[in-house]
Amino acid sequence: MIKTSLRILLVEDRESDVMLIKRQIKKIVKNPVIEVADNLEDCKNHLVNFAPDVVLSDYNLPNCTGLDVMELVKGFDSSIDFIFITGTIHDEELAANTILNGASGYILKKHMNNLSEKLEPFLKKVVVNMVARDELRERIRNNKITVNQIYEYLDKINTDNVEHVENIKKIKEAMNRFNIGDDAE
């Protein structure tokens, strides 16, 4: 059982398949958060407002193909894992093309009864990638903090320099008045 809560976007137009897939996901993920879309517009909205960890998509949808959905997802965030769950990919060349175009994998709907067994390795990989990305995000965040601290220090130096330059200017002006005063005598 995967204990990490996964945010899953399911792109599927058949309500019966949605229910079956959700049931299978709940067998392997303790607390999944699942949103459903059946068109590109809703999918885009979920990418922006839901921020899924993984997208599961049918290949044949009423208004687009799964490749259209994958292109949208990968264009939005190439690090989001994308898995086809479809009855359409019978052609090995088409299946290979989905992988070459960026899919993390595909599962045929004829395996719906044991979908959890087929899906679990993919979702475990998603969790491992999430942990790695979280570690990377933490390092990036720490680096940004360090860079911000350096910028703050440099700004302080610049501020100090401005004060030094102004003080030097005042000293030079005072010295020039002193020198002018000497010439007058």
Bridge partners of 105, per DSSP, are 83
pLDDT at 179 over 70: no
Q: Average model confidence (pLDDT) for the chain? A: 82
Query: Confidence band (pLDDT; 50, 70, 90) for 181?
Result: very low
Identify the burial level of 68 via C-beta atoms within 10 angstroms of its C-beta, where 0-12 means exposed, 13-18 middle and 19 or more buried. middle
Is the pTM higher than 0.75? The answer reads no
Give the single-character DSSP code of 114.
G
SS3 7: strand
**pLDDT at residue 137 tops 70:** no
Task: With a cut of 50, say whether residue 182 has pLDDT above it.
Answer: no
What domains are there in the chain, each with its CATH number? Answer: 7-138 (3.40.50.2300)
What is the average per-residue pLDDT within 17-45? 94
Could you tell me the pLDDT band of residue 17, with boundaries at 50, 70 and 90? very high
**Cα–Cα separations (whole angstroms), residue 81 to 9, 61, 158:** 10, 19, 46
